[in-house]
Amino acid sequence: MASCEGMKTSWPELVGEEGEIARATIETEVPWVEVVIVSEGAATDIPLDYRCDRVWIWVNRRGIVTTVPLVA
């Protein structure tokens, strides 16, 4: 697993953006992370382990980012 030290860990500027555009933006900035798009209300499906190589993007039914994407 990669270290989080010195890397960007949140993307507040992507709130309100389309989820796929947010994914592409994050993958461009930090190409070695796994970016996961999750629908609101799917919290029961989310692993609770913390990983520096994974970013969660929460979207609404229209695919719009609703919370700040975070490394988690």
20 domain residue, yes or no:
yes
Q: 37: which strand partners?
A: 57
Contact 2, 53 (CB under 8 A): yes
Percent of the chain at pLDDT exceeding 70? 85
Rounded to whole angstroms, the Cα distance separating 41 from 11 reads 21
Write down the pLDDT at residue 17: 98
Mean pLDDT of the chain: 87
Q: How confident is the model at residue 1 (pLDDT cuts 50, 70, 90)?
A: very low
Contact 56, 4 (CB under 8 A): no
Contact 70, 7 (CB under 8 A): no
Question: pTM of the full predicted structure?
Answer: 0.83
> Where in the sequence is the domain holding 39, given as residue range(s)?
12-71
User: Is 44's pLDDT higher than 60?
Assistant: no
Write down the pLDDT at residue 45: 64
CATH number at residue 33: 3.30.10.10
The domain total for the chain is: 1
For the chain, helix, strand, coil in percent to 5 are 25, 25, 50
User: Is 11's pLDDT higher than 90?
Assistant: yes
